[in-house]
Chain A
Amino acid sequence: MRYSHPVHIYRRRFQLPITLVISALATLVLFILMHRMGVSPRLLAFDLLASTYRVVVAYLISLVAAVVIGFLVTRNTTVEDVFLPILDVLQSFPSFAILPIATLWFGASDLTAIVFLVITIIWPVLFSIVSGIKNLRGDMSEAAHVFGARGFGLVWNFLLPAIFPSIVTGSIIGWGEAWDAIIGAEIIGISTGIGAFLAISSRAGDGKTLALGIFTLLFFVFFLNKLIWLPLLKKSTQFATEE
Chain B
Amino acid sequence: MGLVVNNVSKSFILPDREVLVLDSVSFDVDAGQFCAIIGPSGCGKSTLLRLMIGLDVPSEGSVEFNGKKLSLGMGVSALVFQHFALFPWLTVFENIEFGLKMKGVDAAKRKKIVEEQINDVGLKGYSDKHPKELSGGMKQRVGIARALAMSPELLFMDEPFSALDAFTAENLRADLLRIWKKYKMTVIMVTHLVEEAVELADKIVIFSKAPGTVEKIIDDKLSRPRAKRSSGFYTMVDTLTRSVRF
Residues of A within 8 A of B (CB): 137, 139-140, 142-150, 153, 157-158, 161-162, 164, 238-242
Contacts and interface: CB of A to CB of B under 8 A. Distances in A.
A238 B101 CA distance: 22
A149 B132 CA distance: 23
Given A143-B79, A153-B102, A238-B132, 10 more contacts: A139-B85, A142-B81, A147-B78, A147-B146, A148-B103, A157-B102, A161-B87, A164-B89, A238-B89, A238-B130
A142 B81 CA distance: 9
B88 A147 contact: no
A147 B132 contact: no
A142 B79 contact: yes
Given A147-B102, A161-B89, A242 B150 contact: no
A146 B102 contact: no
Interface size for chain B: under 10, 10 to 19, 20 to 34, or 35 or more residues?
20 to 34
Contacts of A139: 81-83, 85
A157 B101 contact: yes
B87 A158 contact: yes
Contacts of A157: 98, 101-102
B101 A242 contact: no
Interface of B: 50, 53, 55, 72, 75, 77-79, 81-83, 85-89, 98-99, 101-103, 130-132, 146, 150
A135 B50 CA distance: 21
Given A146-B53, A147-B99, A157-B102, A140 B89 contact: no
A158 B53 CA distance: 20
Contact residues of A: prevailing secondary structure: helix
B55 A146 contact: yes
A144 B82 CA distance: 15
A143 B81 contact: yes
A146 B72 CA distance: 7
A137 to B, nearest CB: 7
Contacts, number: 62
Contacts of B131: 242
A80 to B, nearest CB: 15
Contacts of B77: 146
A12 to B, nearest CB: 21
Contacts of A162: 87, 89
Contacts of B78: 146-147
B102 A149 contact: yes
A137 B85 contact: yes
23 contacts: A139-B83, A140-B85, A142-B50, A142-B79, A142-B85, A143-B85, A143-B86, A145-B55, A146-B79, A147-B99, A147-B102, A147-B146, A148-B99, A148-B102, A149-B98, A149-B102, A157-B101, A161-B87, A238-B88, A238-B130, A240-B88, A241-B88, A242-B131
Contact of B87 (A142, A143, A153): A143
A242 B89 contact: no
Contacts of B146: 147
Contacts of A143: 79, 81, 85-87
Contact of B150 (A137, A147, A161): A147
Q: Taking each of B81, B85, B131, which has the highest tally of chain A beta carbons within 10 Å of its own beta carbon?
A: B85
Contacts of A140: 85, 87
B213 to A, nearest CB: 25
